[in-house]
Copies of this chain bind each other. A is one copy, B any other.
């Protein structure tokens, strides 16, 4: 049905009506007192959401723009960096760093498995000369639904002492606890169409003191993504370049909603959505892609057996129930499908998605589960949590 689509992909995520209507307001001038007030409020609330007193800078770009800003502002050509690669977005970090002429050493893990923290420890401990300038990792790997062990890897970076830690938190901010100041994370990049509950078009970079020191001597060329300009202007509640004002209206609305819900509740809700989804999928006899212990609260990847085609499941769920699930990316295309439960998603949405999934599986002739088992399990987990 037209206008009936329910988004259960890892971004764009569903947007609350309050934010949609805020976005439909006439734009205002971005050099006005009214915009400065919004900029001040939004910046303050972003710091709250990021659990940091650091700068949280707002870019007009996709999340990749924030990732690129996270590299080019703090590093110089030829700098040695370690990139954690266990999915599409880890690979993207390596691509950006390579495009800018950094000396990239990839620490890889199979897609669907977490990065091995020990490999980071070994490299960092072996680096007596302190030539490693940054460790760059993806926290929640959206392509596989795996949460990397940021805390442990970060502890090795801290023991190294020199290297910055640069983190893609695109699908973790607003979904899972990532206390930036407590962990001392130097650079954290994210994007609006995820936990922030607004459409794509804004990206965020949280930058700490050590990174700003690196900024002073970093030699990669930059202009549009020069975070120094954003920092200077943010201090005056303005932006160096024209901001997408209507997306700011939406962000103002969702940050207020998030404050009303509270950080602990937001994280707990995502945990509940994840546990419920995983338990229900298992009850349907479908293998999960990636271990429970490292599951991302943002997205669950499912690897159906060869007899039920992942793309066919997505098609039926989409055509018949107007629910958008995500497919696999790169070599996982057709092999997995992904259920997004990030942002403006409630327990009701999980029940709905699991119910629809049951119908699709039966339609495809897959009967390795008791009818109703998915929803029964989901309801049990929800009742217990």
Contact = CB atoms under 8 A, between A and B. Distances in A.
Contact of A244 (B15, B200, B327): B200
B324 A29 contact: yes
A56 to B, nearest CB: 19
A220 B11 CA distance: 31
Interface in A216-273: 220-226, 240-247
Contacts of A364: none
A30 B60 contact: no
A24 to B, nearest CB: 4
B225 A30 contact: no
Given A62-B243, A96-B223, A199-B245, A28 B11 contact: no
Nearest to A63: B242
Interface string A1-40: 0010101010110110000110111111111100000000
A84 interface: no
Contacts of A247: 199, 201, 244
A223 B100 contact: yes
A221 B220 CA distance: 9
A7 B29 contact: yes
A193 interface: yes
A95 interface: yes
Nearest to A244: B201
Interface string A54-87: 0000001111110110000000000000000000
Contacts of A245: 12, 199-200
A62 B241 contact: yes
B226 A12 contact: no
A200 B242 contact: yes
A75 to B, nearest CB: 12
Nearest to A24: B24
A383 interface: no
Contacts of A63: 241-242
A15 B246 CA distance: 11
Contacts of A246: 23, 199-201
Contacts of A25: 3, 20
A218 to B, nearest CB: 13
Contacts of A100: 221, 223
A26 B18 CA distance: 11
A99 interface: yes
A90 interface: no
A191 interface: yes
Most buried by B among A96, A241, A242: A242
Contacts of A31: 9, 326-327
Contact of A65 (B29, B60, B99): B60
B27 A7 contact: yes
B12 A68 contact: no
B7 A26 contact: yes
A30 to B, nearest CB: 7
A68 B223 contact: yes
A225 to B, nearest CB: 7
A27 B199 contact: yes
A320 to B, nearest CB: 16
Contacts of A161: none
A305 interface: no
16 contacts: A12-B242, A21-B24, A23-B24, A23-B246, A24-B24, A27-B193, A27-B200, A29-B324, A31-B326, A60-B201, A62-B242, A62-B244, A64-B223, A64-B242, A96-B224, A221-B221
